């Protein structure tokens, strides 16, 4: 049975919110990715209400029938209605896609509690760990919306490509019985609701693993951007991506996630994409820092939100609490938040004791050229 063979398994009208077919989707967050998901849902035949926080933004979306600021290349299907009224957006919705920055997830979920019916699933497209609490976004939403099941959508997706029909895949994860009752799980119901001829959702039961992949990939992308900006080549970037994947595995496991989950779309897939193109704000930030720009001067001085910058703190705080060492993420934290020198930080990263690569091979050997690393990186990064 394929992910799209559930067809008539859901009651389209009536029935409990947690079992009926998803026909009406509310997308909360009208940035590039929220807009893209709203367009995709409408292309999939759903009725969609896209919530923008400001009325002037919502009015522009209604007038232009596209998001001229964030996603001008994707015209709105007729079934997509922009609004700034949160109640109007979610009232009667069969599912909510929550697509706001990670630091706004708790506040937004709390606002949703006033309007959202019990049992209506909330699917997170926000990626990160809450600063100060070390909680994954699914835990944050569960605390604010205890009567609503939670899912997460993640994968190697640039908004413009996904919304304009480039073949795209993503993972949707939730809890539930994926055996005989698979059609009742939130992940399957959302996959069926959002699948189009070009947008292909895969289903997972590992919510933690999917979230860890999404949280760490932005931090690793900043490291890759720094390396590229400093003039290092593909060897360096490939090493950072590969060892970054290992950091995802290390953190997912003690939190209950599965190592194999991060070898999929929400892990290595999203990581490879985000670390490979300045279209990613995370990689672009690193790229500009590696070229010697001050943080305040990056993005031409505009106040651009970069999730990996925030998550460099929250991810490493979470890892430290779990007794897990993440050398690349710690390096990004040191550069962004502790005033560390890029050349000295990268030298220290490369001069760490030599290790075995398989997890079962527990080795730690003094690096034979550790004393030369600082001079080498300082010279190469001039």
> How does pLDDT run along the chain (382 residues), one tens digit per residue?
333 344 445 555 555 666 679 999 999 999 999 999 999 999 999 999 999 999 999 999 999 999 999 999 999 999 999 999 999 999 999 999 999 999 999 999 999 999 999 999 999 999 999 999 999 999 999 999 999 999 999 999 999 999 999 999 999 999 988 887 888 999 999 999 999 999 999 999 999 999 999 999 999 999 999 999 999 999 999 999 999 999 999 999 999 999 999 999 999 999 999 999 999 999 999 999 999 999 999 999 999 989 999 999 999 999 999 999 999 999 999 999 999 999 999 999 999 999 998 878 889 999 999 999 999 998 888 7
Scanning 44-128, the segments in alpha helix (DSSP H) are 55-64, 86-90, 105-112
Question: Catalytic: 217?
Answer: yes
Global confidence as pTM: 0.92
In terms of Cα–Cα distance, which of 69, 246, 267 is closest to 155? 267
Please, what are the domains in the chain?
Answer: 7-205 (3.40.50.720), 209-380 (1.10.1040.10)
Residues whose CB is less than 8 angstroms from the CB of residue 173 and which lie 6 or more positions away in sequence, other chains included: 151, 152, 154, 187, 203, 204, 205, 206, 207, 209, 210, 211, 266
Q: Which helix (H) or strand (E) holds 365?
A: strand 364-365
Options 217, 249, 372, 378, the catalytic residue = 217
Q: Is 50 exposed, middle or buried (0-12, 13-18, 19+ CB in 10 A)?
A: buried
Burial group, residue 353, by CB count within 10 angstroms (0-12, 13-18, 19+): exposed
């Amino acid at each position: 049975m394929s992910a799209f063979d559930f067809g008539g398994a859901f009651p389209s009208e009536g029935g409990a919110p947690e079992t009926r077919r998803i026909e009406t989707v509310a997308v909360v967050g009208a940035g590039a990715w929220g807009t893209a998901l709203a367009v995709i849902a409408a292309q999939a035949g759903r009725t969609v209400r896209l919530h923008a926080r400001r009325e002037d933004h919502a009015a522009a979306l209604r007038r232009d029938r596209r998001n001229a600021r964030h996603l001008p290349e994707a015209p709105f299907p007729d079934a997509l209605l922009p609004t700034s009224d949160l109640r109007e957006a979610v009232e009667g919705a069969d599912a909510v896609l929550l697509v706001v920055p990670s630091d706004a997830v708790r506040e937004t979920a709390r606002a949703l509690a006033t309007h959202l019916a019990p049992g209506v699933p909330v699917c997170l497209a926000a990626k990160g760990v809450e600063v100060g609490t070390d909680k994954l976004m699914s835990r944050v939403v569960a605390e604010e919306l205890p009567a609503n099941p939670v899912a997460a959508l993640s994968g190697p997706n640039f908004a413009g490509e996904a919304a304009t029909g480039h073949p795209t895949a993503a993972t949707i994860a939730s809890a539930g019985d994926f055996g005989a009752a698979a059609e009742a799980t939130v992940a399957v119901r959302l996959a069926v609701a959002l699948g189009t001829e070009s947008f292909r959702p895969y289903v997972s039961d590992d919510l933690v693993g999917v979230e860890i992949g999404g949280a760490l990939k932005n931090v690793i992308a900043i490291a890759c951007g720094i390396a590229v900006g400093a003039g290092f080549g593909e060897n360096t970037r490939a090493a950072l991506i590969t060892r970054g994947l290992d950091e995802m595995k290390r953190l997912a496991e003690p939190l209950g996630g599965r190592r194999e989950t991060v070898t999929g779309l929400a892990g290595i897939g999203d990581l490879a994409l985000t670390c490979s193109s300045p279209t990613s704000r995370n990689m672009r930030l690193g790229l500009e820092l590696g070229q010697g720009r001050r943080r305040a001067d990056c993005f031409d001085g505009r106040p651009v939100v970069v999730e990996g910058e925030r998550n460099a703190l929250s991810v490493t705080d979470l890892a430290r609490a779990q007794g897990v060492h993440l050398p690349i993420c710690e390096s990004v934290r040191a550069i962004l938040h502790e005033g560390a020198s890029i050349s000295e930080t990268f030298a220290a990263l490369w001069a760490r004791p030599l290790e075995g690569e398989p997890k079962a091979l527990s080795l730690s050997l003094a690096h034979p050229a550790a004393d030369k690393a600082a001079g080498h990186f300082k010279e190469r990064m001039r």
